[in-house]
Every structure is written in structure tokens, then in C-alpha cells.
């Protein structure tokens, strides 16, 4: 699983949400794994205590599936998504990988 988070600049919240929804939420009926091999799903989140904090979570079939995707040269910029989002944010977009140890 990966979790990336960022603080959206005041006044840019609607634009950032529209960008994330356009890029991340499926609207063609396809499953995430039909678009990106090994991707189980993802979620778009907004923090309760800080309305400028957004998060994106991705869940992968396996670490090997994530590593395969990450070896793609375009993976780090999300096909340009990271650069577009960065312009709407204060500070860096920070991401980190996690293992799900139990549910």
C-alpha cells in the first residue's frame, strides 16, 4: 500500500479535488487492475482536522506488482499528475509505502 499526502494551497481546493478525481476515479467501468497491472484499488481522502490536507492511497496485489509498476520511468510522476498537483500545493507531496500486517 502507498499513501501520498499534500497540503493544498488556500483557494485551490476545488481545482485540486477536480484534478485528483479526473485522474484517479474510474468513470469508464474498468477495474483498476485493467488499467494498471497489479493495482487492486485506490482512494482519495480529505483530512478531518485540516481541510487543506488530501491523501491518495493505492493498494497492490503484492510488493512484486508494486515494484514492477515503480520500475516504469513514468511511474514517479504519475503520468504528469504529480507535477500538476504540485502547482496547487504548499510544500512537497510526500508518499510512503506500507505493509498491511493485519486487518
pLDDT digit string, tens, across residues 71-91: 888 776 666 788 888 999 998
pLDDT score for 89: 93
Is 36 a domain residue?
Answer: yes
CATH number (domain holding residue 63): 3.30.70.100
Is 8 a domain residue?
Answer: yes
DSSP secondary structure string for all residues of 11-61? T-HHHHHHHHHHHHS--SS--HHHHSTTEEEEEEEE-SS-TTEEEEEEEES
Tally the domains of the chain. Answer: 1
Is 29 a domain residue?
Answer: yes
Write out the three cell numbers for 66. Answer: 508494486
> Residue 29, exposed/middle/buried by CB under 10 A (0-12, 13-18, 19+)?
exposed
Q: How far is CA 6 from the centre of its chain?
A: 10
- What share of the chain in percent tops pLDDT 70? 94
pTM of the model: 0.74
42 contacts 32 by C-beta, under 8 angstroms: yes
Q: What is the pLDDT of residues 51-75, one digit of tens each?
A: 889 888 889 999 899 888 888 887 7
Full domain range(s) for residue 7: 2-97
Write out the three cell numbers for 33. Answer: 487492475
pLDDT score for 88: 92
Amino acid at each position: 500500500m502507498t499513501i501520498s499526502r499534500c497540503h493544498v494551497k488556500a483557494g485551490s481546493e476545488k481545482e485540486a479535488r477536480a484534478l485528483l478525481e479526473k485522474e484517479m476515479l474510474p468513470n469508464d467501468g474498468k477495474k483498476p487492475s485493467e488499467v494498471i497491472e497489479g493495482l487492486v484499488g485506490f482512494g482519495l481522502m480529505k483530512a478531518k482536522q485540516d481541510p487543506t490536507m488530501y491523501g491518495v492511497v493505492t493498494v497492490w496485489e503484492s510488493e512484486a506488482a508494486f515494484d514492477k509498476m515503480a520500475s516504469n520511468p513514468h511511474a514517479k510522476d504519475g503520468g504528469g499528475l504529480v507535477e500538476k498537483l504540485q502547482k496547487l500545493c504548499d510544500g512537497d507531496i510526500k508518499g510512503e509505502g506500507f505493509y498491511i500486517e493485519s486487518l
